[in-house]
Amino acid sequence: MSTLTTAQLDSVLYERFRRRLFEHIQDREVNKTELAQKCGISRIHLYRLANGEQNPQIENIEAIALALGFDDPADMLAPITAKKKRR
């Protein structure tokens, strides 16, 4: 059984964060400027986080998760399940 390195685990968690952030921006039609303001970060920083140009700090994950309505910021990093297709 192989174990993940810290770098590999970070990569998985960052990807989950990015996908959730992108989904919420897309599905809820969240205004990126307003979201960034609620989180206390710049719109450019939010863009870079969402596009994987920068890795989030724990404070960013917490602020964004709470602004998006997650009860527990850790849910932003939970495994992503496939969505059912709408008919």
Q: pLDDT per residue over 24-71, tens digit each?
A: 888 776 788 899 999 999 999 999 999 899 999 999 999 999 999 899
Task: Spell out a b/e string for 29-38, using b for 16 or more CB atoms within 10 Å of the CB, else e.
Answer: ebeeeebbee
Q: What does the alpha-carbon distance between residue 63 and residue 68 come to, in Å, rounded to a whole number?
A: 9
CA atoms within 13 A on the CB side of 87: 0
Answer with the residue of higher pLDDT: 2 or 16. 16
- Where in the chain are the domains? 11-76
Instruction: Please give the angle made by the CA atoms of 87, 24 and 58, to the nearest 5 degrees.
Output: 145
User: For the chain, how long is the longest CA-to-CA vector?
Assistant: 45
- 19: closest CA among 70, 84, 81? 81
Pick the CATH number of 11-76 from 1.10.260.40, 1.25.40.10, 2.40.110.10, 2.60.40.420: 1.10.260.40
The DSSP code for 3 is -
pTM of the full structure: 0.79
